[in-house]
Every structure is written in structure tokens, then in C-alpha cells.
Chains A and B, each alone.
Chain A
Amino acid sequence: MNLAKVEKSTWIYLAISLLLVIVPFIVTGRSMQFIIIQFFIFAIFAMSYDILLGYTGIISFGHVMFFGIGAYSTAIVMNRFDSTILSFILAIIIAIILAAIVSLIVGMLTLRLKSHFYAMLTLALAGLFLVGAEKWRSLTGGNDGFTFSLPEILRDSQSLYMLCLLSLVLIFFGLRRLTKSPFGRVLMAIRENEKRTESLGYKIVHYKVIASVVAGVVASFAGVLYSISLRFVNTSVFATDMTIDVLLMTIIGGVGTLIGPIIGAGLVEFAHHWLSSLADVHWIFERWIILYGIVYILVVIFFPLGIVGTIQKKFFNRQNYQKKKQQNPRRKLDEGRKEDEDELYRNG
């Protein structure tokens, strides 16, 4: 591997990851560590949603079903078997396989539909999983849920922190690689214009189904981590609120950027914690979902590209401006004139 060819951003992300490794040695408070762990888990979940929404242009209101599948698979396996590492690995495998099968079936049945029909159908399917979890009490414990035990190593908050951080870093770099591959380019082309992509010779349903499976599997893995972080599961892991949260994280951070959903997850998680702690100050902070709604509206109006998208655009414009400044003034004038002519002609 040629290190000189590694992108500068990769080094930055690696440096941040290393900094995060030392955080639990500095932040020793269990509640703060727990919040950071939740942030890592939701960052993974939000990245999985970004593959659908940001890279492929698929709007799903039922993405939470994969998160729930992961959470319940782990909880049920750990509840029924001995709490060993082997059981945990088995739980992960089952969670991934189940999510892959469900996302494959859902994708094949629904991704031929127009986007709004797909969104509504996924919402209905997620509802079906929620009702199933409520009614199948012998397996899921219904609304009350159930607790389960974990192997010794996963009960330690520092080990759990490291596991979640490692998962986040590996999944981030894995998905980044995927989105920069020829496959990722096709997904982005589909997002922009399906017909145009099809006329280049791509069977778009295949690509959308693969994206749906990848997103489903990653979301399921986030669900695995979520259930072990709580050592408890109930039907809230299938609630639509979770999808709304993850949609919010992705849009606030910036769709189609991967790093955006991570930042969005961080902001939403920490804001949630901070606003809830202000409940004693004013009742409005108990209803933090209202504040989320306001933030969401403001972001959509003022930062339609999200935080990362807006920064990237500003950075790109600045780079362009500097490049133009460096160019020969005479040449710049000619080019500008040609562009103006073109623009004038187009606008009649």
C-alpha cells in the first residue's frame, strides 16, 4: 500500500479515531461514557440510512425494522443461550443473516415502486414488525421487553466503548470505500436520475436491492450494539420515532456524505441529553421533540445540504475562486466572456 496515495481526509479521520480511543480514560463518568456509546451506535445507524437516502435516493420510513431485527436477535439469543462470547458471535451472525434476508425480500418486492409508494410500504412493514413484537410475547416479552445477561467482557463499559468505536471506524471506512467504488458511483447516478442511469446499461433494481441489503445489515448491526449497550430490549426498537431520529441525524449532518450522519448523530444525541437535563428549568425541555421539530425546519430552510454538505459547498466555491484568481487575467476574461455568452443565449 502506497501511503503517499492515501487521502488527507483519511489521515484526519484516523487521527480523530485515535483521539476517541483515549476518551474513556479521560471521561470516566459512566453516564457520559454511555452517551458517547449511544452516539457511536446511532452514528452507525445513521450511516446505514445515508446509504439509502444520501447515496441511492431511496426514502424509507421503515428502516428501523432492521435495527429492531438486530436488537431482538441479540437479546433472544443471549437470553436463550449461555452468555458467552460464542453466543454473542452467533447473535451477530443471526442478526446479519435475518436482516439480509428481510432487506432482500423487501427490496425485491418494493424497490420497483415509485419512491413515495416505497416509503409508505416500508412504513407499513415496520409497523408489522412492531405489532409482531408486541403480540409474540413468548419470544419478545411484548411491550415490557426483557433483560438479558452478557459475557463479562461486554459488561465492562470501557470494553463496550472500544467495541462500538471499532465498529464505527470499520463500518465508516468500509462504507466510504463502497461509495467511492464503481458500485457507489452507480448508486449516486441512480439517485440523480434513474432513467438516465438505466440508459447507460445498468439494471437499477439490482443496485437498489444491493444498497438496501447493505443498509439493512449495517442497521441490524447497530441494533445488536444498541441492545447490548442497554442489556435490555423492548418494542421501542421497532418504533417509527427511531426512523424519524435517524432521518433527522442524516439530514442535519448532510446526506450523501457519510461523515455528516456521524456529526448529526452526535448533535442529536448530545442535544437530547442536554435538553432533557434542562427539564427542571422549563417544561418545554421535557418535550424536546418539539425543539427537534423546530431545528429540523430551520436546517431544511437554511442548510438544505446539512452541516457537512454546506461546508463542502463553501469549501468548493472558495477553491474555485482561488483557482480563478491564480489564472492568467486575460484568459480569465475570455473564459468569463464565453460563459456569459453561453448563459445569455440560454436565457434568451
Chain B
Amino acid sequence: MMSSLLRLNQVEAFIQKFHILHDISFEVPKGEVTVLLGRNGAGKTTTLRTIMGLNKVSKGSINFQGEEIGNLLTHRIANKGIGFVPEEQGIFGELTVGENMRVAMKKEDEQTTKRMEWVLDLFPDLKKFWKKPGGALSGGQKQMLAIARAYVNENELLLIDEPSKGLAPIIVDKVTESIQQMKEQTTILLVEQNFLMASKIGKKFYIIDDGRTVHSGQMDELKEDKVLMKKYLGIS
């Protein structure tokens, strides 16, 4: 049986005075892609932000590699080995592609250089536009840059928030393909509304609804469960 890399237990969180997460509990097994599914506003993005320490945990615990990280500051959590690809790409628009990549590199050793080369082979557009400001890239290229930036360090876990959002189907295929290649080397927690993409990449899923984890299981089973898909994801 796979060991859990990340475990959330009855996590609650607020954004200002609004109670967003009521009861989030799930586990991310090491070496797998776990997907968080749910409708808009269910609390998926807030969950990822809470794991990263961008929202405070008001109750419950977040355990990463056997250590409680729920009360740590964001930079400490990142330095534990968690890479974050935020929603809407989250790149630095005024920095060039090269600067975006370099600013993300925690060290410049042989291992990181190899990862950089690998990721640039995966996304050749980034090499092509190396000196171009990040803000001048197309939506798909920005997404590739955001993923590449998180991957360049040897992170134990990647949190990826809606990588298909706002992208043309042809670009979504490319992003899907790249995440599939990455999952061979790192554990991924993916938030995705595009069920087709999620089902191609993910193994285990959790459904979040109204700030609570309401269902979990294997992705293959979910594909067959039309009632569940309609109830929580609005897919018929």
C-alpha cells in the first residue's frame, strides 16, 4: 500500500469573515496524481491555498511527510518541498521567461540544471521566448511556464490549480500530456473542473462540495457513476 505524502484532517478555513472550508479531509498518496473535483465555489482553490499557508487553518491539521505544516508560513511550506501552480497561471508578467524560471530555482546545482533542461525540452516554446516578458506570452504558454517553474525544483509534491482554465482545447491536450510526463517523477495534487482532463491524469479523486469532502474513490469508478457526476459535477 502507498504511504500518504499529504494528509488533511477536518480542515476548516476562513477568508476574512467568510467560513469557506468546513470539513476537508483527504490523503495524497506518494507517487500518484490525486484530483480534487467540484463545482465552482466549492472550495477547491481555497483548499490548495490553505495547504500553501496563503489562508490560515482555523481548525484541523495538515500533515506533510509526517510533519504538521498547518501553522507554518508560506515560504517555510514551500521550502519543505511543495511547489504551487496557482490558478490563472500565476507567473510574473514583467519578468522575462528566463527570469521567471531562474527566480523559481532554489539552487543552481547539476540536478536543477538537468530538471531545467528536461522541462525546456517538454515545453520548447519557453526556450524560444526565453527573453520575452512573461506577460507577452499566450495563455497556453503562460500555463506551461507556470508548470515548468514549479517543476524546476525537486519538489516532493506539486499543487496544480485548474491548469486547463481558459485554454483552447488544443493547448489543454498539450498541458495534459506534460502533466502526464511529470507524474512519473513527482506526486501531484490537481484541482480541475475539466473532467476529461482530470480523468486522463488522475488515479484517485475527492469531490469537494460547499467546503466539505463529500466523496472519494478511484477515477475509473467515477467515470461509470453518472448519478454522482451529475449531482456534484453537473455532468450528465
Contact assessment for A185 and B54 in the assembled complex, using a CB-CB cutoff below 8 Å? no
Stretch at the interface among B23-31, B94-102, B115-123, B211-219: B94-102
Interface residue? B106 (CB, 8 A): yes
From 178 to 215 in chain A, residues with beta carbon under 8 angstroms from any chain B beta carbon are: 182, 185-186, 188-189, 191-193, 195-204
A338: chain B residues within 8 A (beta carbon): 138, 168, 170
Per the CB 8 Å criterion, the residue count for chain A at the interface is 29
> B203: shortest Cβ distance to chain A, in Å?
25
Q: Let me know if B79 and A188 touch, CB within 8 A.
A: no
Cβ B74 vs Cβ A198 within 8 A: yes
Whether A193 lies near B167 (C-beta < 8 A) is no
Inter-chain contact total with CB atoms closer than 8 Å: 78
Identify the stretch in A80-88, A288-296, A339-347 within 8 Å (CB) of chain B at 4 or more residues: A339-347
Prevailing SS type, chain A contact patch: helix
Residues of B within 8 A of A200 (CB): 78, 103-104, 149
With a cutoff of 8 Å between Cβ atoms, the chain B residues found around residue A346 in the complex are 139, 166-167
Q: Which residue of B lies closest to A317 (CB)?
A: B136
Interface membership of B171, Cβ < 8 A? yes
Residues of A within 8 A of B168 (CB): 338, 341-342, 344-345
Chain A residues with Cβ below 8 Å from B136 are: 320
Chain A residues with CB below 8 A from B94, complex form: 188, 191-192, 256
A199 to B104, CA, bound (A): 10
- Nearest CB of B to A168, in Å: 26
Binding site for B on A (CB under 8 A): 182, 185-186, 188-189, 191-193, 195-204, 256, 316, 320, 338-339, 341-346
Interchain residue pairs with CB less than 8 A apart (20): A185-B95, A188-B92, A188-B99, A191-B94, A199-B78, A199-B86, A200-B149, A201-B106, A203-B73, A203-B75, A256-B94, A320-B132, A339-B138, A341-B170, A342-B139, A343-B138, A345-B167, A345-B168, A346-B139, A346-B167
The 7 closest A-B pairs by CB, nearest first: A201-B78, A198-B74, A345-B168, A185-B103, A201-B79, A192-B92, A199-B84
